[in-house]
Amino acid sequence: CPVNIPIKNRHLFITGGSSGIGLALAHRAASQGARVSLLARSLQKLEEARESIRLSSRSDVSIFAADVRDYDVVQKAVSDAGPIDVLVVNQGVFVPQELEKQGLDEVNFMLDVNLMGSFNVIKAALPLMKQRTDCLPASIALISSQAGQVGIYGYTAYSASKFGLRGLAEALQQEVVADNIHVSLVFPPDTDTPGFERENEVRPELTKILAGSSGSMKADEVAKKALDGIQSGSFIVPCNFEGHMLAIATAGLSPQRSFLMVAIERSAVKSANRGSAKGTSAEPMEGAHTLSDKTHVTLG
C-alpha cells in the first residue's frame, strides 16, 4: 500500500547536490522545510549552491566536500552530517563514446562514481538510518537514467553503471523494508544540466538521436517528479510519458506500489503471451508457469 514519507523538518542528504538535478532537488526540499545536506567534490561549487539555496529559501544547508569513490571520506561526511531520513544518491558522470574507442580508464571512472560510489554512500548511511528514533518511514533514492532501463549506443559503461543501480535497488529494498526504509529508482530522460551541456559537446550523433527520442526535461521538472516519487515511496519513478512506457516495458519483478500498474503490467504480459502463442494451441508454452487460470508467464 502507498506510504507517505514526509520531508518537512527531516534530514535530506543529497550526493551531487551542487549542480543540476541534485541542486534542483536541494532547492525544492529546502523550500518544503527539509534540513538539507549536500555532498560533492568541489567546495567552491558547494558554497555557491549553499548561497543560492540560502537566497531562495532562506534556509541553511550543510555542505561536505568528498569524493564518493573514497569510502572513508564519505563515511566521515555522513557521520558528521548526522542521521539521515532521506538519502538521495544522485552523483553521476557520463562520458558517451563507442566502447571500441573508449579507454578503460573512462569505463572504470563511470562505474566507480555511478555504481561503486553509490555503494559507498549507502553503506555509510544505512547504519544510522536504521537507528533513527522517529517511527516515520525513511527513503533511499537512487537517481538512475532511462539509459538504465534501455541500453543506448555510446552508453555501454554508463548504461552498465545505471543498470547496476537497478539490481542494487531491488535487492536492497528487500533488506531494508523491515526497517520502514523505502527505495526509489528515478529514471530521468535527457535533462538540462551543466553535466548535460558538457556531454552534448562530445556525444556521438546516434546517441543524441536515440536519447533524444525520449525528449528532454528541465532539472527542476525532474526534481519535482523525483521528490513526489520519494515522498510516495514509489520504487520506480518515471519522469515523463516515454519514461512511463519504458517502466512498463522493463517492469521485471520490481515492487509495484499501485494496483493500476499491476493491472497494466498483467495486461501487457497477457497480450505479449497471446502474441507469441498465436497460431499455437491455447496450451501454455513449454516452460510456461501458470500464475492463474488466466495468465501464463514464460520464465527463461
174 binds ligand NDP (CB under 6 A): no
Among the listed residues 5, 7, 21, 124, the single contact to ligand NDP using CB under 6 A: 21
User: Residues with Cβ < 8 Å from 51, sequence gap 6 or more?
Assistant: none
The binder of ligand VSD chosen from 211, 222, 226, 230 (CB under 6 A):
211
CA angle 233, 1, 147 (to 5 degrees): 40
* Region binding ligand VSD by CB under 6 A among candidate stretches 132-140, 210-218, 223-231, 266-274: 210-218
Phi, psi values for residue 182, rounded to 5°: -110, 135
Q: Give 235: exposed, middle or buried? Use CB within 10 Å, 0-12, 13-18, 19+.
A: middle
Minimum Å distance from CB 38 to ligand VSD? 19
Site for ligand VSD in 77-136 (CB under 6 A): 94
In the complex, the smallest distance separating the C-beta of residue 161 from ligand NDP, rounded to whole angstroms, is: 8
Q: Nearest Cα to 243, choosing from 260, 226, 257?
A: 226
- Give the chain's radius of gyration (CA, Å): 20
63 forms beta bridges with 38
The strand order across the sheet containing 181-187 reads 62-65, 35-40, 11-15, 86-89, 138-143, 181-187, 236-238
| Residue 69 binds: one of ligand VSD, ligand NDP, none (C-beta under 5 to 8 A by kind) | ligand NDP
According to CB under 6 A, which one of 67, 170, 220, 242 is a site residue for ligand NDP? 67
- The interface partner of residue 242, options being ligand VSD, ligand NDP, none and the CB cut-off 5 to 8 Å by kind, is ligand VSD
Residues that bind ligand NDP (CB under 6 A): 15-16, 18-22, 40-42, 45, 67-69, 90-94, 113, 117, 143, 145, 188, 190-191, 193-196
